[in-house]
Structure 1
Amino acid sequence: MAQDEGYLLDNRQAEAGARFDALSALFDASTFRHFERLGVDEGWRCWEVGAGGPAVAAWLARRTGPRGRVLATDIDVSRAGAAAAEGVEVRRHDVALDPPPEGPFDLVHARLVLVHVADRDAALRSMTEALRPGGRLLVEDADPAMQPLICPDEYGPEQELANRLRHGFRRLLRDRGADLAYGRKLPRLLREAGLEQVGADAYFPLASPACDALETATVQQVRDRLVAAGLATDEEIERHLSHVAAGRLDLATSPMISAWGRRPDPAPPSGVRG
């Protein structure tokens, strides 16, 4: 995932692998459904931004075949390297700071990236500029402010504790520049970027084993910062993790907003009829 120096969920932490696996289990099917709808096909040139783990880029490589090209970029590519076995080109790249890679691309995709990037406008502009005329952009980002509870059914003290810790985690994200209402803005931002045929939908799982795995990995990654900020105690975190492990919580994710658009074909020269 693209990140800056203040990124809270570092790809190099021991729990990052479990977190990527859980995100893949929760959201890959939805992402691949959008790829299918956008018509990703053999020979397409694709840029996977903030690749993190290898699963999405590997799917694109299998779909586009030997005549296609899939480039997977991230600030930290340590967990994306496995995709190279599928023919994916893996490269270190900061989508907000570095020039767009050589293209143009038929598809540019980013999932759970821009919400964490300080200069989101520059990153979105870079991805849009990398599209060929007629190329598709698919941006998928969370909107934690739209559904702020990890336990929507807060019926007891275990659920209340889970939601309190989640509020603390989101405060840490906000303090590092994350826009917790970014997902809902995507359709407007894609239109403002000049894309056409813009659409969007939302998806969030509830009461899935992968939600439990994601919560465990996430809390373990940020527990020291939660304690240091006075947002939780070690005892509260251990108690919450034991509740998750016991399967007594119906955990949810933030809504994932998927927004897509098409770069217009160039206008014909003045005086030339189509």
Structure 2
Amino acid sequence: MANDHSYLLDNRQREAGVRFDALAELFDPWTLEHLERLGPARGWHCWEVGAGGPSVPAALARRVGPDGRVLVTDIDTTWLDGLAAPARGSSARIEVHRHDVAADEPPQGPFDLVHARLVLVHVTGRAEALRRMASAVRPGGLLVIEDADPALQPLACPDERGPAEELANRIRRGFRALLAERGADLAFGRTLPALLRAAGLTDVHAEGYFPVTSPACRRLEAATVRQLRDQLITGQGIAPADLDRHLENLATTELDVTTAPLITAWARRPA
């Protein structure tokens, strides 16, 4: 329904784990390159917002070392179990808590680094949530927000050269419609620089990343379609046979399917 603003891609479903693994393969190199260039340093206190999976907080923990702290939060911590265990190979203090960045006050800080990836695009009160994150950054510290901009490049297959690509793009249009019905801002990524400035931050930068094709793109697409199968059928009128054909194309051909562009924006809280 158009007034249902609950999260479309439920973390409790089995396919969510496949999605998190594919997202990590696609975006972790880009994300970690930026984080390592900006920080964190040993001893930093970091807040990873809406982590979903464990890969980025585990990397932060290795960077901050035994004197640092990594607070990991999400509204659903299903896929974060065991993150704080010593077997992760880091002596940093890792804490995992349930937290809704759109509704709850920021956790006790301040933090040297606050980071969120693919979180705010799904939050209806996204500007207020960003303000809450900015308020948790220490003077001189960093806020790094990475989010999608599906409207910037809306196609699953930019090279629509045949029936398989046309079908993929039709299904992607259905997915985008479902996101919009749940309150997602499909043009959100491009607004991040202005939102960071409005939150009182300075030294604002932003860059975009756009994976054109890879096996991880195909795995992410297949997991998303399986997870949303019922909604695509009942809410968007896509035939079950078409979904099955699309999944077969993803499994048996090198379909050049992509994701929405990821915009990475960062800024500092004035000292």
Q: Considering the TM-score relative to the shorter chain, is it more than 0.5?
A: yes
> 1:50-94: CA deviations, max 9, x gaps?
010001000001100110000000000010123212442000000
% identity of equivalent residues:
63
Which structure 2 residue ranges, 5 or more long, are not aligned?
A: none
Amino acid at match of 2:203: Q
Q: Is residue 247 of structure 1 aligned with residue 253 of structure 2?
A: yes
Q: Tell me the secondary structure at the aligned position of residue 134 of structure 1.
A: strand
Which residue does 2:135 correspond to in 1? 129
Question: In 2, distance between residues paired with 1:247 and 1:187?
Answer: 39
Alpha-carbon distance in structure 2 between the residues aligned to 1:216 and 1:241: 6
Choose 83-92 or 120-129, whichever is displaced more. Answer: 83-92
Corresponding residue of 2:79: 79
Q: Deviations over 1:100-131 (max 9, x none)?
A: 00000000000000000111012101100000
Amino acid at match of 2:159: D
How far apart are the structure 2 equivalents of 1:56 and 1:150?
26
Deviation at 1:5, TM superposition (A): 6.0
* Letter paired with 1:30: W
Q: Which residue of 2 aligns with 1:230?
A: 236
- 1:10, 1:120 → 2: CA distance? 19
1:155 aligns with 2:178: no
> Which residue pairs with 1:179 in the alignment?
185
The separation in 2 between residues aligned to 1:234 and 1:165, in whole angstroms, is 11
CA distance in 1 between counterparts of 2:77 and 2:7 reads 15
Partner of 1:70: 70
Q: Supply the distance in 2 between the matched residues of 1:94 and 1:6 (Cα, whole angstroms).
A: 12
Distance of 1:156 and 1:210 partners within structure 2: 22
Amino acid at match of 1:189: L
In the other structure, the counterpart of 1:116 is 122
Question: CA shift at 1:229, angstroms?
Answer: 1.1
- Structure 1 counterpart SS, 2:208: strand
Which whole-Å CA distance do the structure 2 matches of 1:135 and 1:247 have between them? 46
Residues 80-95 of structure 1: pairs in structure 2 closer than 5 A: 80-85=80-85, 86=88, 87-95=93-101
Partner Cα distance (2:95, 2:8) in 1:
26
Answer whether contact 1:150 1:163 (CA < 8 A) is retained.
yes
1:19-48 superposed Cα distances (whole Å, 9 cap, x missing partner)? 000000000000101111212110000000
Structure 2 counterpart of 1:190, one-letter code: L
- The amino acid of 1:132's aligned partner reads R
**Greater mean deviation of Cα atoms: 5-14 or 92-101:** 5-14
For residues 15 and 103 of structure 1, what CA distance do their matches in structure 2 show?
Answer: 34
Which residue of 2 is the match for residue 269 of structure 1?
none
Q: How many residues were matched structurally?
A: 262
1:204 positional shift: 1.3
CA contact (8 A) 1:212 1:251 kept: yes
Residue 207 of structure 1 corresponds to which residue in structure 2?
Answer: 213
Counterpart Cα distance in 1 of 2:94 and 2:55: 11
Aligned counterparts of 1:57 and 1:119: Cα–Cα separation in 2: 24
Deviations, residues 168-200 of structure 1 (Å, cap 9, x unaligned): 000000000000000000011101111111000
Q: RMSD over aligned Cα, in angstroms?
A: 1.1
- 1:247 CA drift (Å): 2.3
Structure 2 equivalent of residue 44 of structure 1: 44
2 CA distance for matches of 1:7 and 1:71? Answer: 22
Is residue 196 from structure 1 mapped to residue 202 from structure 2 by the alignment? yes
Structure 1 pair 15/258, CA: closer, same or farther in 2 (3 Å)?
A: same
Structure 2-normalised TM-score? 0.95
Residue 220 (structure 1) aligned to one of 217, 226, 245: 226
